[in-house]
Amino acid sequence: MKLTKYTHACVRLEKDEKVLVLDPGTFSETAEALDGAHAVLITHEHPDHVDVPAMTRALGTAAGLAVFAPAGVAATLRQEAPHATDRIHTVQPGAAFDAAGFDVRSFGGQHALIHPQIPLVANIGYLVEGNVYHPGDSFIVPDGLTVQTLLVPIHAPWSKAAEVVDFVISVRAPQAFQIHDGLLNETGLTMVEGHVARLGGKYGTTFTHLAPRESVEV
């Protein structure tokens, strides 16, 4: 399976001529990531994870495109793209489903706390093909399963470096790549990723930085 990292939290997966996109948000190269996509997984409603106008356009131009998202996101997309309501699916935690030929399981349910005065929103983490885990904006660890490829939210308003490292240690995936890196400059990114690579490596995780549009086989 081919994994392509886009800016911030967006990732594209390709397998058997099918394309699955996760979190095409406003910080990312959304149109490029969605080009030729058969299905989209959205973790939560924040704009850096879902570009609603871009998704609306994609649902209008790609007749077979299916979208899977928490209830609030799904409702917004159904309102904006009423012609595609049958292709917009609500996802709850603990579900297992097929998305354009990709086996998907869902975890979590709630966005990490930013501040007590900022309302929490639903957040779904997705494990694709029993391999790639995208947690969205949370540090929820999939229970009862082994993750092969972890996408690590490397920096966010809701996290600190110790929590990022502990998440990597808890999941203990053999390999990990960064997501949610759009708010750090090169100096900050190097520092945080250095901690993740060094400390995660003690527990068997090899961390590798991916540049925007860089692809790897997973």
How are beta strands 149-153 and 124-128 bridged, if at all? unpaired
Q: Which residue, among 123, 56, 110, has the nearest Cα to 85 in the 3D structure? A: 56
The pLDDT score that the predictor gives to residue 179 is 98
pLDDT, tens digit, 9 for 90 and up, residues 4-31: 999 999 999 999 999 999 999 999 999 9
The predicted pLDDT at position 97 comes to 98
- Across the beta sheet with 96-99, the strand order is 96-99, 102-108, 124-128, 132-134, 149-153, 175-179, 206-208
Provide the pLDDT for residue 144: 87
Q: Which residue has 């030729």 as its token pair?
A: 36
Let me know how long the chain is: 218
pTM for this predicted structure: 0.97
Q: What are the residue ranges spanned by the domains of the chain? A: 2-207
pLDDT tens figures, 128-137: 999 999 999 9
The pLDDT of residue 213 is 97
Q: Which residues of the chain, if any, have pLDDT below 50?
A: none
> How far apart, in whole angstroms, are the C-alpha atoms of residue 42 and residue 37?
13
Superfamily of domain 2-207: Ribonuclease Z/Hydroxyacylglutathione hydrolase-like (3.60.15.10)
